[in-house]
Amino acid sequence: RYGVGRCLSSPLLLVITLMSHRLHPTSPSPHPSPPQVRLCDVCSSEHIGFGVAGPLGKWERVLCRVCAVGVEGAKSLSRMCSECDTMGIFGTRGGAYGGTLHCRKHKLPGEADVKHRRCDGGSSEPCDRWAAFGGAMGERKPRRCRDHRMEGDEYLRHTRNSSAAGRRALCRREGCSLSPSFGGEGMRATFCKAHRRTGDKDVRHGLCQ
């Protein structure tokens, strides 16, 4: 009896085990495996710094500094998207502008723009808009967006210093922070489109002949 029962129990246990796996499949691990480090395609070095892009812009080859010497089409990977030859501006939210970056097309869920400074003016919740205004508190770089700018702030987005000569020209209408495009014929642009005077023309942009 012991021998017969043992022989019958083995197939029965096998069937029960298979059924339990079907009803309760193995769940994936909550800790995903770390991404594989890409190595130089020539010498397998971890210190890659150059890449060769294909016709669609994807990196087809990655090379270290030594192996990239003399390779046609090799480009520096510094601050480039890790997937293609486009400038990378998206990375880990709150991180520095460097490391693993992605372009808008290849950005990952949860990544944010780490290249352009964000507005500091949101009091209740952080503002996610680009900072373009500053100077009210002596700043030399933009700190606030248009909605959160303070009295005395000026447009500092495309300036390198806080001197009046280095600031971008603004519309001459008081309180307007737009770039001027209109002025008298043959003269410099002094007013924006909304505040242009009668007879002013667009003297900044070339028109079709």
The mean per-residue pLDDT over the stretch 23-31 comes to 53
pLDDT for the residue numbered 177: 74
Domain ranges in the chain are 116-168, 169-209
Higher pLDDT, 110 or 168: 110
pLDDT for the residue numbered 178: 81
**Lowest-confidence range among 142-146, 168-172, 189-193?**
168-172
Higher pLDDT, 37 or 75: 75
pLDDT for the residue numbered 154: 77
Summarised one tens digit per residue, pLDDT across range 133-148 is 887 777 777 888 888 8
Summarised one tens digit per residue, pLDDT across range 50-101 is 999 988 888 999 999 899 998 898 888 888 898 898 888 888 866 666 678 8
pLDDT for the residue numbered 67: 92
What percentage of the chain exceeds 90 in pLDDT? 2
Q: Is 201 a residue whose pLDDT tops 80?
A: yes
Summarised one tens digit per residue, pLDDT across range 115-131 is 877 787 756 666 777 78
- The confidence band for 158, taking pLDDT boundaries of 50, 70 and 90, is low
Q: Looking up tokens 């594989």, which residue turns up?
A: 36
Higher pLDDT, 8 or 103: 103
pLDDT for the residue numbered 131: 82
pLDDT for the residue numbered 48: 86
